[in-house]
A and B are shown apart, each in its own frame.
Chain A
Amino acid sequence: MSSPDLYNRRFFLFSGKGGVGKTTLSAAFALSCARRGERTLLMELNVKGKISTLFGAGEVDHEIREVDDNLYAVNVTPAAAMREYALMILKIKLVYRAVFENRIVSSFLKVIPGLNELVMLGKAYYHVNETDESGRPKWDKIIVDAPATGHGIFFLKIPSVITSLVKSGLMFEEAQRILDLLQDPERTAINLVTLAEDMPVNETLELARVVREEMGVPIGVVLANAVYRPLFDDAQVAHLNEAHAALQAAADAGDERAQTHPGAGFVEAARFRNARVAMQQEYLDLLREQADAPMVEVPFYFHDRMSFATIDEIAEHLSRELPALANPAEDTADRSSSSAG
């Protein structure tokens, strides 16, 4: 399975279970693109602007704004996307208001399957094709922080759902165009974000299967987030386990030194890490075996995960790791050693 360099594509979706750090990684990836000198647009969909928090660039809403050099962000809400889209077609505000802000119509718009999702995807599609005065693409990279899985799968299925339900009308044409973009391996990649834990991994494997078999959307990489760097080698791990057992035995025997020993807390903290590391390795192996896509580990950072400093470090990490994936000649045996702690 060869993976072309992710940085050669233009349109990226990030998907994964809630709470796995999808927003963090899509923002970090966007930053790494911007740092490469590419004009990058990061799109959040209908959420309370986490991006604003990350870049400290004031409230990111439905107006595109620059949050860092070369990096622009926008929060797309269905209502705003619908308005833009409808105005593009109807051209006249008055007509738009009469039609789309009509109470009856708006109750219809709510129940038309997938319309909200379609207009949000449609907005992304529009930016992929947007050109500047000289006719060159306006954006080098468009990155969409897609909704959490469950909802995310539905979101990505929308275009094909619509083309199977209707055969005419603007919605159908739009859906067909978006479908062509989503399935184009030259331009598009969906990246699956996960944690090296039971439920996120199961969900990711399922998502990978659905994306591949039912949607035909090309998978870019699986990003395993928050992976602990092993600190202790096998001999040290074995000794720490012995030390823990000795402390247990002493405590059971009523030996007070088990509590007061200056090394006791250190031993327990180390065992905590070792247990997490061992568990994560099991799940990373499972992902490697079954996801059928290249995997990048993103190290766990010991400061608050949602800060610009973290995004910055992860962006650095990705700009090293992603091109290396495209070059299978390079030894990838021990990726985790290159991470910052």
Chain B
Amino acid sequence: MARTDDEAQASRYFERVISERQVVICVGSGGVGKTTSSAVIGLNAALSGRRVLVMTIDPARRLANSLGIEALGSEMQQIPLERFEELGLEPKGELWAMMLDMKDSFDRLVQRHAPDPKTRDAILDNRFYHYFSTSLAGTQEYAASERLHELVQSGEFDLIVLDTPPTTHALDFLEAPERLVDAVSSRALQWLYKPGVLSGRSGMGIVSLGTNYVMRTLGKFTGGELLSELGVFLKTFSSLFEGFEERARGVIDLLKSSRTGFVVVTAPDSLTVEEALYFYEKLDRDALHVDAFIVNRVHPRWVSEEALALPPEALAAALSEPPLPALDPALNPTDLAEHLLENASQFELRATQDASSIALMGDRLPKTMPILKVPYFNRDIHSLAGLNKARTALFGYF
């Protein structure tokens, strides 16, 4: 697709903004190519000389392979950039990548912040811990924000690009730390240890329902043992939260500062665009910096409207004009022309729909917001050249 001046300008603006950020966070619905976009943003910054880490939550094997590594693990790995020299590029910086494994991040957290080895083991061996660390809503986002904080503090990287889980709420990982603090706040725990709370002394009128009654009713639901065990677990676990609120605040300050930019990634269909706009409104309301919208898999326009209106016979005749090769006598030119017309008009329909949802997006966003379009490639991206094609689309390099 030929790039217009507007597109070139949007790319330049986007690149300049990213060059001033230390953290870039890609948000968006599932299946829109967030992981690939994160990799391309990271790659571009690394090629231009920065030391970059891309953190993903997706076990994107193909992407890992395209970057020249076997698989992404929870340990950081350096991406061999010299392979980009084959494409005529001169990589000046470093690119590192890792997959954020939820369980692993949580274990790290326990190991780092447990007050003593005994508490650490008590938590890691608790039978609730496994479910707690892998499945509680927001734990993944929470682990990501903790790890991000840790890495930014270390100062090892000039830029960290984070690919977030496809949540329905773009900011789950902002709210997750607070939710966890709230859940294990000492106030709730105190109730659990009040003598008699779970042992079933009644005698409360219904009007002044006491804590005992409340807890016993809850115990009926969960089974008393679960509630008391959970209490023990939470009590142990809450010892981790020394300094926790401070760290959570640190993350939130970082995300709200000008060191961090958000990129909204979307597909071009109307429904996904609606979701993306919803993310944007939420981010904007929280005074976070949204740097760009990336629209992946935009159907290109191959054929002009005049050409689509050609009668099949006219196209059939043109099919043998040089430089096109002569048609094999076994091929029926009109038949081929009809199929070509059908195919082109189907894709024209898609291109028109894509263009109209992108136009709608433009109407609903500030005029200065870069909207970067990545064409729909005919193969999935799983090679250096493929990644570089996406980079060309985002940043305008060839």
Chain A residues close to B by CB (< 8 Å): 17-20, 46-48, 50, 53, 86, 89-90, 92, 94-95, 98-99, 102, 104-105, 107-108, 110-116, 148, 150, 154, 161, 165-172, 197-200, 202, 231-232, 235-236, 239, 242-243, 246-247, 249-250, 255, 257-258, 261-263, 265-273, 275-276, 279, 302-306, 341
Contacts and interface: CB of A to CB of B under 8 A. Distances in A.
Given A18-B31, A107-B182, A341-B346, A239 B378 contact: no
A104 B193 CA distance: 13
Q: Which residue of A89, A111, A341 has the most chain B CB atoms within 10 A of its CB atom?
A: A111
Contacts of A279: 378-380
A243 B325 contact: yes
B339 interface: yes
Contact of B223 (A172, A239, A250): A172
A46 B137 CA distance: 13
Nearest to A283: B380
A25 to B, nearest CB: 14
A107 B183 contact: yes
B343 A273 contact: yes
6 contacts: A46-B168, A105-B218, A154-B135, A235-B330, A239-B327, A302-B346
Contact of A272 (B328, B378, B382): B378
B353 interface: yes
A198 B382 contact: yes
A275 B379 contact: yes
Given A266-B344, A269-B302, A275-B379, A169 B222 contact: yes
Given A111-B132, A113-B132, A302-B350, 12 more contacts: A95-B209, A98-B213, A110-B179, A169-B226, A171-B223, A197-B380, A199-B58, A239-B328, A265-B304, A266-B343, A270-B340, A305-B271
Contacts of A171: 221-223, 226
Majority secondary structure, A binding face: helix
Contacts of A108: 183, 188, 218, 227, 230
B42 to A, nearest CB: 19
Given A232-B339, A263-B315, A302-B350, A246 B328 contact: no
A135 B28 CA distance: 46
A266 B302 CA distance: 7
A257 B318 CA distance: 12
A265 B347 CA distance: 11
Contact of B131 (A86, A110, A113, A268): A113
Interface string B306-318: 0100100001001
B171 to A, nearest CB: 15
A56 B325 CA distance: 51
Contact of B226 (A89, A99, A165): A165
B224 interface: yes
A275 B377 CA distance: 9
Contacts of B127: 165
B303 interface: yes
Contacts of B336: 232, 236, 239
B220 interface: yes
Contacts of A104: 187-188, 191, 211, 214
Nearest to B102: A150
Nearest to B185: A107
Contact of B307 (A47, A232, A262, A275): A262
Contact of B224 (A50, A169, A199): A169
B29 A304 contact: no
B269 interface: yes
Nearest to B335: A236
Contacts of A90: 217
Contacts of B340: 263, 266-267, 269-270
Contacts of A269: 302-303, 340, 343-344, 347
A263 B324 contact: yes
B32 interface: yes
A287 to B, nearest CB: 16
A272 B298 CA distance: 13
Contacts of B179: 110
B318 A50 contact: no
B397 interface: no
A112 B137 CA distance: 11
Contacts of B322: 257
A19 B30 contact: yes
B283 interface: no
Given A19-B32, A98-B214, A306-B269, A113 B128 contact: yes
Contact of A148 (B30, B128, B217, B315): B30
B31 to A, nearest CB: 2
A148 B166 contact: yes
A17 B302 CA distance: 31
Contact of A273 (B137, B206, B270, B347): B347
Nearest to A96: B217
A261 B304 contact: no
**Interface pairs A-B: 7 shortest CB-CB:** A19-B31, A18-B30, A169-B223, A275-B378, A250-B323, A265-B303, A113-B131
A110 B218 CA distance: 13
B346 A246 contact: no
Interface string B363-385: 00000000000001011101000
Given A104-B187, A166-B223, A263-B318, A247 B324 contact: yes
